[in-house]
Chain A
């Protein structure tokens, strides 16, 4: 019992058996009348545990530790990954501890958070990790009991043999099993036998989050660590001169250092640095194009008219289709820049010592942080360690390693452990933004209202390809031309939740609404006709989407939203495929006092099997709230390479009172699970804009909605129904 620690908590319960002198303890927060008992810490469990594979260690006490390799930023991967391992292991979830794995490329592939790709990438791996461990535990029990392995059952961490009446928990077979070789191939469970997957499992970090435990990067402190804050240059500018004399005079400031286009103030705590940073006098000079938002408006129009386009997809004879059309519909759509604005500002801890570097903090791409650090320092990547903290949001901002590498710069210069903290102003002005984009759509209709020609020409910024040429309605139209034009901007841009599609989906789904109206067809029926054509006679090679799955969510969304049934409710429809998942949405608007009020969004998702319904609902609702908030309010404008909106007083984020009801449904298509961190966001703006049109006859072709001239005379609101 020497390894047990005394707990001050008064509400542990369920003492579940002893063998090697250990206690098995589950934890229940809400049982305040239970007696005081003792509990093993995760460290104590790990000190005795045997490793079965990269994901899994089991201690002789029967406690199971599951490592979650991917960074957790709110997508709930730290809960859902271990659920999959525990399912195949047949573990008792109450005895599972989850540990965030540090960066370890030897153990884990694709240890990153981005593209909603973790679950589809790891689904089989995680299942095998659990199943192979179960296999050797069963083999060890069979050997110990001298019974056939095929007669052994495993349930909730208990291994049993009915014939002999023998029974024991995982821990009793850990020593024997951990010496056995795991099989290359193993039989996985039938999905219908799943007991953990598909059930609502609570976030594994809930206690830490709700009691204020220091689990985020910004919460990392080490004795003797220095703090730093950095003034970064406007985009397109470089430093001409620096006067740091006033900044150096602030009590608590130890040094001011310049590197690249940045000036760092370094000291012993944060507040003096916030003051000192404002006192640095920096003169800048252009080193490239110093852009304004008005320049972007002009560049978009010029490039759309005359820019050199890359043809991304061409089917049929587009010129003839438009020449012979009974009717042509065309429209242009444009969105502004957006910042990621995770609630936890960027920050990172770095400690460079000789040819080694230690990194700790919030990153979506720990391996990129390691590689860029190694390159900067000229040391082997193996000499860089990365500890991944919980992330206070990411939304794509923490895919970059710029804020990691600058901590490394400061640590090297100061020869000390350093944490760099960004202020909110730094976050909004030193971003790697969702860039603005402008699209021109054209549709050719025949005399019966069939869309026989479709053109999309987009101008993106640093986007590479600002289209998704193999996505719907490609495949459903005989004559298609999709072109992408690129503008290279000096403003840093990056993936932002559902890159490209976060606006392309809105523009496309709004435009299709315009086309359906011109064709005098119901928007849902119009889409179903197109999908039927794509199913019966798909046009031109590769399609990026599964037609049946898209039809499935369209039909279910129409049904669940009572599409077109209530004349007092004005509805807008949208459907989009992104990141391997399908989401259809219907927005409901009611006119109140002459104003359109968004009351409800119905969402139907096909992400294959739902691993954790709680987590899935979070991602669907969260994606919709995100899409809605940014479509309504999000706007970052540039003046001389600097955003005008510098904090949440001018850069508006959606709040509690502005959130309507969101009704969430799933289509069970029988497929393996796909990711949900992004797919619910793209359809939202289109559903809302189409409902606004249905309610007011005003078509919104730009974001943010509330700043458009269409709503200069009436108020546009979102409220709970």
Chain B
């Protein structure tokens, strides 16, 4: 066990956990930040996506010991009131079915649009291909990312 000081959503949190504990479980079990979801645990589905220094990151395979001084942003910290352009586009398009993967989808889309504010549909498809939606809301996700890009 060791103490880690983590910068998450603009605040510093101290946790006492094993070095190999994935950031996902630090967020969920130790900090009560439950918006970041567990699904595959092996960086295949993207439900656990957070931002590390602005980059889309699979928190399920990110050991807490590797986070260091990186700025972590989770779905809870993406915007103060849920009004990030991507969240607004998701609401406007009414993307979700079960909704479980959507926080990860939103985080991935937000990081992607930050890098590429005027993407082609093909670029959207490529970027969002790392997140699985078992309900098959892909058409709506594509539409919402395009809308967020347009409205930003």
Known: A210-B102, A219-B34, A659-B138. A74 touches B97 (CB 8 A): yes
Q: Is the CB of B134 within 8 A of A647?
A: no
Task: Give the nearest-CB partner of A219 in chain B.
Answer: B34
A648 sits at the interface (CB 8 A):
yes
- Of the candidates B34, B99, B106, B121, the one whose C-beta lies within 8 Å of that of A221 is B34
Please determine whether A74 and B99 come into contact, CB atoms closer than 8 angstroms.
yes
Which residues on the A side are within 8 Å of B103 (C-beta)? Answer: 209-210, 212
B94 within 8 A of A: yes
Contact of A343 among B20, B29, B100 (CB under 8 A): B100
Q: Is A288 an interface residue, CB under 8 A from the partner?
A: no
- Whether A655 is near chain B, meaning CB under 8 Å from some CB there, is yes
- Shortest Cβ distance from B104 into A: residue: A343
A218 at the interface (CB under 8 A from B): yes
- The listed residue (B34, B92, B106, B138) touching A625 by CB distance below 8 A is B138
Once A29-B82, A207-B91 are accepted as A-B contacts, the answer to whether A344 and B29 lie under 8 Å apart by CB is no
Tell me whether B25 and A210 are in contact (CB under 8 A).
no
Say if the beta carbon of A192 comes within 8 Å of chain B.
no
| Total contacts A-B at CB 8 Å | 190
Contact A656 B128 (CB under 8 A): yes
A93 to B128, CA, bound (A): 34
Interface status of A73 (Cβ within 8 A of chain B): yes
Q: Are A271 and B37 in contact (CB under 8 A)?
A: no
Whether the Cβ atoms of A29 and B83 lie closer than 8 Å is: yes
Verify if B115 is at the interface (C-beta below 8 Å from A).
no
A647 to B99, CA, bound (A): 21
Which residue of B is nearest A269, CB measured? B29
Residue among A212, A275, A392, A424 with the most chain B CB within 10 A?
A: A212
Mark each residue of chain B from 112 to 133: 1 if its CB lies under 8 Å from any CB of chain A, else 0. 0000000001000110110111
Known contacts A251-B18, A269-B25, A657-B126; A211 and B101 CB within 8 A of each other:
no
Q: At the interface, yes or no: B56 with Cβ under 8 Å from chain A? A: no
Are the C-beta atoms of A648 and B42 separated by less than 8 Å?
yes
The interface residues of chain A, by DSSP majority, are classed as loop
Q: Is the CB of B98 within 8 A of A342?
A: yes
Nearest residue (CB) in A for B99 is A209
Q: Is the CB of A621 within 8 A of B75?
A: no
Distance of B143 from chain A, by nearest CB (Å):
11
Q: How many Å lie between the Cα of A520 and that of B38 in the bound state?
A: 53
- Which of A10, A30, A275, A720 is the one whose CB lies under 8 Å from B92? A30
Whether a CB of chain B sits under 8 angstroms from the CB of A307 is no
- Give A206's nearest chain B residue, CB to CB: B91
* Chain A residues, CB < 8 A from B13: none
Q: Mark A615-630, 1 if CB is under 8 A from B, else 0.
A: 0001101111110010
Given contacts A74-B97, A213-B35, A218-B37, A649 and B126 within 8 Å (CB-CB) = no
CB-CB under 8 A from A629, the residues of chain B are: 136
Instruction: Report whether B22 and A271 are in contact in the complex, using a CB–CB cutoff of 8 Å.
Output: yes
Q: Which of B30, B75, B98, B132 is in CB contact (< 8 Å) with A391?
A: B98
Q: How far is the CB of A616 from chain B (nearest CB, A)?
A: 12
Interface membership of B21, Cβ < 8 A? yes
Q: For A221, what are the chain B residues with a Cβ–Cβ distance below 8 Å?
A: 32, 34
> In the bound complex, do residue A653 and residue B88 qualify as a contact, i.e. CB atoms below 8 Å apart?
no
In the assembled complex, the CB of B5 is this many whole angstroms from the nearest CB of chain A, namely 19
The answer to whether B142 and A656 touch across the interface, beta carbons within 8 angstroms, is: yes
Query: Interface digits, A265-279 against B, CB 8 Å rule (1 contact, 0 not)?
Result: 000011110110000
* Smallest CB gap from B33: residue in A: A212
Rounded to whole angstroms, the CA-CA distance of A212 and B106 in the bound complex is 10
Contact of A211 among B1, B37, B75, B98 (CB under 8 A): B75
Q: Is A216 an interface residue (CB 8 A)?
A: yes
Task: Please give, as numbers and ranges, the residues of chain B lying within 8 Å of A390 by CB-CB distance.
Answer: 98-99
CA distance A444 to B141 in the complex (A): 47
Complex: chain B residue closest to A392, CB-CB: B100
B67 at the A/B interface (Cβ < 8 Å)?
no
What B residues does A366 contact at CB under 8 A?
Answer: none
**Residue of chain A at shortest CB distance from B35:** A212
A656–B98 contact, CB under 8 A? no
**Nearest residue in B to A393 (C-beta to C-beta)?**
B98
In angstroms, Cα B28 to Cα A462, docked, is 39
Question: Is B137 an interface position by the 8 A CB rule?
Answer: yes
Size of chain A's interface in residues, with CB distance under 8 A? Answer: 73
- A9 is an interface residue with CB less than 8 A from chain B: yes
A269 with B30: CB separation less than 8 A: yes
Which chain A residues in 123-177 approach chain B with CB under 8 Å? none
B66 at interface by CB-CB < 8 Å: no
- Select the stretch in A104-112, A197-205, A322-330 that faces chain B: A197-205
* Alpha-carbon distance between A378 and B76 when the two chains are bound, in angstroms: 43
Contact with B along A531-546 (1 / 0, CB 8 A): 0000000000000000
B45 at interface (Cβ–Cβ under 8 A)? yes
Checking B35, B88, B134 against A342 with a beta-carbon cut-off of 8 angstroms, the contacting residue is B134
> Which residues of B are found within 8 Å of A258, using beta-carbon distances?
none
Type the 1/0 row for A646-678, where 1 means its CB is closer than 8 Å to any CB of B: 011100011111010010000000000000000
Contacts of A343 in B (CB 8 A): 37, 39, 45, 47, 98, 100-101, 132-135
Chain B neighbourhood of A659, CB < 8 A: 136, 138-139
> Which residue in chain A gives the minimum CB-CB distance to B38?
A218
Residue of A nearest to B64 (CB): A271
Cα–Cα distance between A501 and B47 once the two chains are bound (Å): 30
Q: How far is the CA of A342 from the CA of B38 in the complex (A)?
A: 12
Contact assessment for B91 and A29 in the assembled complex, using a CB-CB cutoff below 8 Å: yes
Q: Of B18, B40, B133, which is within 8 A of A424 by CB?
A: B40
Determine if B74 is an interface residue (Cβ-Cβ < 8 Å).
yes
CB interface residues, A 569-625, toward B, < 8 Å: 614, 618-619, 621-625
Contact B91 A202 (CB under 8 A): yes
**Docked-complex contact B134 and A30, CB < 8 angstroms:** no
**Given contact pairs A271-B21, A621-B136, A625-B138, A649 touches B129 in the complex (Cβ within 8 A):** no
Nearest chain-A residue to B1 (Cβ)? A251
B28 to chain A, nearest CB (A): 7
B132 — which chain A residues lie within 8 A by C-beta? 343, 648, 653, 655
| 23 A-B pairs in the complex with CB atoms less than 8 angstroms apart | A9-B81, A74-B98, A74-B99, A209-B103, A210-B87, A210-B103, A251-B18, A270-B25, A271-B21, A274-B41, A343-B37, A343-B132, A344-B37, A344-B100, A391-B98, A392-B98, A392-B101, A393-B135, A424-B41, A618-B140, A648-B132, A656-B128, A656-B129
Q: Identify 16 new A-B residue pairs, CB closer than 8 A, beyond the known A29-B88, A626-B134.
A: A8-B81, A29-B83, A30-B91, A32-B83, A209-B96, A271-B18, A343-B98, A343-B132, A344-B98, A390-B98, A392-B99, A423-B41, A618-B97, A618-B137, A624-B136, A656-B138
Instruction: List B residues at the A interface (Cβ < 8 Å).
Output: 1, 17-18, 20-22, 25, 28-30, 32-42, 44-45, 47, 74-76, 81-83, 87-88, 90-92, 94, 96-103, 106, 121, 125-126, 128-129, 131-142
The 10 closest A-B pairs by CB, nearest first: A212-B35, A392-B100, A625-B136, A74-B98, A212-B75, A74-B97, A209-B99, A648-B44, A214-B34, A269-B29
